[in-house]
Structures are given as structure tokens and as C-alpha cells.
Structure 1
Amino acid sequence: MASKRIVKELKDLQKDPPTSCSAGPVAEDMFHWQATIMGPPDSPYTGGVFLVSIHFPPDYPLKPPKVAFRTKVFHPNINSNGSICLDILKNNGAQH
């Protein structure tokens, strides 16, 4: 179930890529992705390029991916390890 869903999401991203960011698997590992986010204009992050690591669990989408910034970023929802601190990314925040 997880790999089918991840492949579908990758195809959706490739079909209609968002502006100012990209994401995809690292090598051939569909459960480990790297994303790049460009700092939005007119923000404290303007000109920044932020790398993000995404690890999908085997029971995705029932459990959320583990997401962490690899680039140091100062933000109230990102801790010193780069982990994003939002309820929606916790196990009990996943929607079915």
C-alpha cells in the first residue's frame, strides 16, 4: 500500500511541480526522499535554499512521514535538530 501511494504522489509532483521547491526519492529508495525549498521572496528566508529529508514509514499514509530540515533554519516550528514540530506530523495527527 505505501509504495503504491508514494509512487502516485511522485507522479503527481512530476505532473504539476510546485514553484520554489522540488522533492523526489534518493537514488532508488522510494521511502527516502530529499526536498529542496527556496526561501520565499519578501521574507526573512529570501535567497535561502533549504534541504529537507523525508522518510516514509512502511504503513504510510496511515502513519506520517518523518520530515527534518538538513539546512539550519531558525523558525518557531523547527527544533535544533531540524525536526518540524507540528501536530499534523505526529502519529495521532494523520488523517485517514
Structure 2
Amino acid sequence: MNVATTRLKKELQLIKKNPMEHIECCPLENNIFEWHFVIHSLPYDPYKGGIYHGKIVFPPDYPYKPPGVEMITPNGRFKTNTPICMSNTNFHKESWNPLWNLDSILKGFLSFFLENDSTYGSMSTTPEEKKKLALMSCEVNLKNHNFVKLFPDMVDLAKKTIKEQEEKIVHVKASETSVESNSGKSVWDMTSILVLIIVLLIVLYVSM
């Protein structure tokens, strides 16, 4: 077992003991050098409700050289399947510190994800576009084999989120229908009153 494999197995155990907030991660079963992660349950707009799947690929000589990071789920912040330039990725080997680990890499990435700084691999979209992608993210992830296989808890969360979104849409449509119905009823009531007034005026006029 080489240094990289030993190090990554140790980091896996540490992450299991100390889970990160808003981040789930694990390696592929047959390749400990490729890790997948999920950013979830963010309370902030425009990413609220979104579930974002990405991957980290470690080199054989990790931790002496840095990994590469890519996003898989469309998110509006970074391009998909495109290497992302950060100080702790393989874009900046000169600034890499072997003491950094998966925990610090992912926490740093999450912080960068929530910012708007431009870099290689980033993209410019409006908050509205990011919100739309957040709503679509659950269905997109459920079509991804690695997401479904590696993150059963996230699959449950995605299905729950989709159900809540559907219930919200039904509720909004029901409210709109109710408003339209009440509006139509109000118009009909006013028409009836006007007709009654006209009839009364005619009766009074005839009786004079």
C-alpha cells in the first residue's frame, strides 16, 4: 500500500468520525483516488433547496501533489465537468501544502462556491438562473449512477425535496383557482345587484 492510499483511507475514517456540515463525500468502491461529494441543505439563496454533486480526483503521489475538483450537477456557479482553479487544486501546485486534506479542501471549496469571484471553470449567471438550477438539481442527480449508488441518504433527500416542490406547485395552483373563482363570483354578485336595481327603478317608474 503506497503513501497516497494509506493517507486517503485515514482521511476517510476521520470524515466518518467527524462529518462536515452541508457536505457528504466518499470514494468510488473500486478507486480510492476518485472521490465524489455532495453539497446540500444550504440555507442561503440562490442555492437553497439545491443538491450539488461533484468529484475530486487525487494523483498517485498525493499528498505531495494536489487533487483536481469538478462539478457534475449544473449549478450556475461553476461549469460542469470542467477543472476548477483554486489555490488548493492542481492548478496551483506551487502553493499546495501537503498538510491540507480532504476536509480542508471541501470546506474551502464550499466557501468559494458561495462567493462570486471569477476563476477558471467558473461562470456568470443571475440569481434567478441559479434558483432555477437549484430546483432542477434533484431530478438531475437522480439520473446519475454514481450519485444514486454512493449517496443513498442524498437520494432520499432529493426525492423528498421533489415531493415538496410538487406539493407547493399544487398548492399555488389551487390558490390561484380559488382566487379566480372568488373573483368571478364577485363579478356575478355585482351584476345581479345592478340588474335588481334596474328592475326596481323600472317598477317605480311604471307605478308613478
Question: TM-score w.r.t. structure 2 length?
Answer: 0.42
The one-character-per-residue Cα deviations of 1:10-41 (angstroms, maximum 9, x if unpaired) are 00100111122111111231111111111521
Q: Distance in 2 between matches of 1:32 and 1:81?
A: 14
Q: Distance in 1 between matches of 2:73 and 2:51?
A: 8
Match of 1:33 among 29, 32, 35: 35
Corresponding position of 2:163: none
Q: Is the 8 A contact 2:53 2:72 kept in 1?
A: yes
Identity of aligned residues (%): 33
Q: Secondary structure at the match of 2:15?
A: helix
How far 1:73 sits from its partner (Å)?
A: 1.9
Q: Is 2:62 the partner of 1:86?
A: no
Cα RMSD (Å) of the superposition?
A: 1.6
**Deviating more after overlay: 56-65 vs 86-95:** 86-95
Match of 1:61 among 60, 63, 66: 63
Q: What are the ranges of 5 or more consecutive residues in structure 2 without an aligned counterpart? A: 99-208
Task: Identify if the C-alpha distance between structure 1 residues 91 and 39 changes in structure 2 by more than 3 Å, giving closer, same or farther.
Answer: farther
Q: Distance in 1 between matches of 2:45 and 2:85?
A: 20
Task: Identify if the C-alpha distance between structure 1 residues 80 and 26 changes in structure 2 by more than 3 Å, giving closer, same or farther.
Answer: closer
The one-character-per-residue Cα deviations of 1:61-84 (angstroms, maximum 9, x if unpaired) are 111111100011222xx3464432
Map 1:11-22 → 2, pairs under 5 A: 11-22=13-24
Task: Identify if the C-alpha distance between structure 1 residues 80 and 15 changes in structure 2 by more than 3 Å, giving closer, same or farther.
Answer: closer
Q: Which is greater in Rg? A: 2
> Which amino acid is the alignment partner of residue 71 of structure 2?
F
Match of 2:74 among 69, 72, 75: 72
Q: Distance in 1 between matches of 2:94 and 2:79?
A: 20
Bigger share in helix: 2
> Which amino acid is the alignment partner of residue 5 of structure 1?
R
Match of 2:49 among 47, 50, 59: 47
Q: What are the ranges of 5 or more consecutive residues in structure 1 without an aligned counterpart? A: none
Q: Of the two structures, which has the highest relative contact order with CA contacts closer than 8 Å and spacing of 6 or more?
A: 1
Q: Is the 8 A contact 2:71 2:80 kept in 1?
A: no
Q: Distance in 1 between matches of 2:10 and 2:23?
A: 18
> Which amino acid is the alignment partner of residue 87 of structure 2?
D
Q: Distance in 2 between matches of 1:34 and 1:81?
A: 13
Q: Secondary structure at the match of 2:21?
A: coil
Please identify runs of 4+ aligned residues in structure 1 that moved more than 6 A.
none
Q: Distance in 2 between matches of 1:65 and 1:4?
A: 16
Question: TM-score w.r.t. structure 1 length?
Answer: 0.85
Task: Identify if the C-alpha distance between structure 1 residues 56 and 33 changes in structure 2 by more than 3 Å, giving closer, same or farther.
Answer: same
